[in-house]
Amino acid sequence: SLFGLCLGLAIAVRPQEGVWISMIPLALLLRASLRRPLAWVFFVPAFALPIGSLLVAQATLYGAPLQTGYHLTPPAASPLHLIQALLFPFGFNATRTSSVAYWYLFKIVWPFSVLALIGIVTLLFKKNGIVGERLRKAASITLLLAVWLLFYYGSFEFYDRFDHNPASIGSSFSRYFLPLYVLSSIFIASALLAIRKYAGRFVAALAVCAITIFSLQLVFWGSDESFARISLVSRENEEMKTKVLLATPPEAIIFTDRSDKILYPDREVVTVFRDPRLFNQPRFEELYSYPLYYDTIASSEVVEIENKKFWGPHGLQAVEPVDLGYRHTLYKLEIRNPKSEF
């Protein structure tokens, strides 16, 4: 029942990951001992409880159980488009996929990648009974999962960082490939056992110490996203929020690309407002009665261009910049030549 509850909660928290999470109980059905009805008596209700809660919440918020506020394909899409959305939601770009594979499956975790590869190779070519056979199956599943995740996410082009750093531990890609990182621990252990067998305990102990030091350095001090920086970044965010709250009235609505989690719920925020496919969303004219502001890290020259090409056509103008620090600037959006339709 705990297993079913955890799987259900995982899907309820992030429904778009339900495609591959649902494969876990289906894979378990391959075992004869788990195909008995008694094994599922507690699993099914525990699994259905959070899923049912999600459907009720979506019906309350969006008017229908299967309607969501975030989807990769329109609700009325054809079956072919639905299949494409499930397998290749971001299309396929071989160059970008290769880059993502290099950065997130090797570059930032290279000691573990080398050990995992050694472990997989030794398991694939060594026959040592039932345990070895099961580990070889696990290695095959891991490799297939790696290929699928690369096809699924590899062409997804986004930048979580202001500086467009190609890779970092704070990027969403690190989360997307987390199943691979967890599964690779099996083969890293196999590699360490092989090192101990063929090179001795001392060399194996050195390898363990080396990857431990690498992990600690990466997580705690290795970058501006490591734990040592978290408290500082939190203070910076609080300082910026304080300046925004002082500069805006309580009923203000703030357009922002990156500061929504800092400002909400102290201020209402709008985050999706520049998608060329949704030019009239949100309906800007319905917001004219509220004090409107714009938070950005763009330079004043870029904001001038945005005034002409984006804000202007919506009857708005970004004026009166306020320096919030840490590259952020807050602009007031004045109503200029308001329009009822676009």
- Please give the average pLDDT of every successive group of 10 residues along the chain, which has 342 residues: 83 76 73 70 85 86 71 54 66 82 88 90 72 73 80 74 66 82 87 91 94 89 76 86 94 90 90 64 80 92 90 89 91 77 42
What Å distances lie between residue 167 and 82, 106, 223, CA to CA? 30, 11, 11
What Å distances lie between residue 48 and 12, 13, 43, 55, CA to CA? 10, 14, 9, 10
pLDDT at 72: 47
The DSSP secondary structure of 164-221, one letter per residue, reads --S--TTSHHHHHTHHHHHHHHHHHHHHHHHHHHHH-HHHHHHHHHHHHHHHHIIIII
What Å distances lie between residue 251 and 271, 286, 293, CA to CA? 17, 14, 11
Indicate the length of the chain as a whole number.
342
How far apart, in whole angstroms, are the C-alpha atoms of residue 291 and residue 330? 13
pLDDT at 291: 94
How far apart, in whole angstroms, are the C-alpha atoms of residue 74 and residue 44? 30
How much is the pTM?
0.60
